[in-house]
Structure 1
């Protein structure tokens, strides 16, 4: 995998680590749960279990992307690119489920899509 594609894999992985922190560690804060279009503490309490789980899902994707790069070789790069494919797909699903989440979906999907394209063409 070329270096430019690897940079976008890293960006995608770090983004997903940050989202893990928001969903699994910081979700109880009003400034955090409002980012997910949750209005109040009652809604946040109901959403907390899925947010916690979803945060770890994002962490595992990040570990796949970043760990694949660290592992290196064709096998490691395949794992990194598979993780990027999952990230991109999840971003597209987020956009399809709620158009108000365009910014979040783009932040989630664009870096891994760029990584996949660059890995394929360069």
Structure 2
């Protein structure tokens, strides 16, 4: 079950790296604006906010990736803690998005289900 958790956590980390790219690097592009449903004016007005938010997503991905690597090299306690912290924070942030903006349910599910499954699989694997 730990292997399943690590694969899911890795996928979640990659999704959050992609979100970082969109929010911090391509926020005002037509493609990214279409994903987030923003106009050119809205994207320009929120560029600094999105840039900062993108780095939060990158840092969560890094924490999760470091946890995966640590588990892979045998530092199970530290690695598991980091996977719980990173993927758990991703799932929690998605829950906040879902509750605060129900109209963004699709985005919340896209960014939150996989890390939640990773956390649950890691919990089951850790208890076994």
TM over 0.5: yes
1:80 and 2:79 are equivalent in the alignment? no
Note the C-alpha offset of 1:113: 0.7
Is 1:19 aligned to 2:19, yes or no? Answer: yes
What's the Cα RMSD here?
A: 1.3
Cα deviation for residue 31 of structure 1 reads: 2.1
Q: Which runs of 4+ in 1 moved over 6 A?
A: none
Aligned equivalents of 2:2 and 2:70: distance in 1?
Answer: 15
Give the TM-score normalised by the residue count of structure 2. 0.88
Deviation at 1:45, TM superposition (A): 1.0
Residues in 2 aligned to 1:121 and 1:79: alpha-carbon distance in whole angstroms: 16
The answer (yes or no) to whether the contact 2:83–2:119 under 8 Å persists in 1 is: no
Deviation (angstroms), 1:97: 1.8
What do the CA deviations read for 1:36-64 (whole angstroms, capped 9, x no partner)? 232x2211111111100011110000000
TM-score by length of 1: 0.93
Match of 1:54 in 2: 53
Deviations 1:55-112 (A, max 9, x none): 1110000000011111222102211211111100100111112122111101111011
Aligned residues: 121
2:95 equivalent among 87, 92, 95: 92
Mapped partners of 2:40, 2:115: distance in 1: 33
> Where does structure 2 lack aligned partners over 5 or more consecutive residues?
none
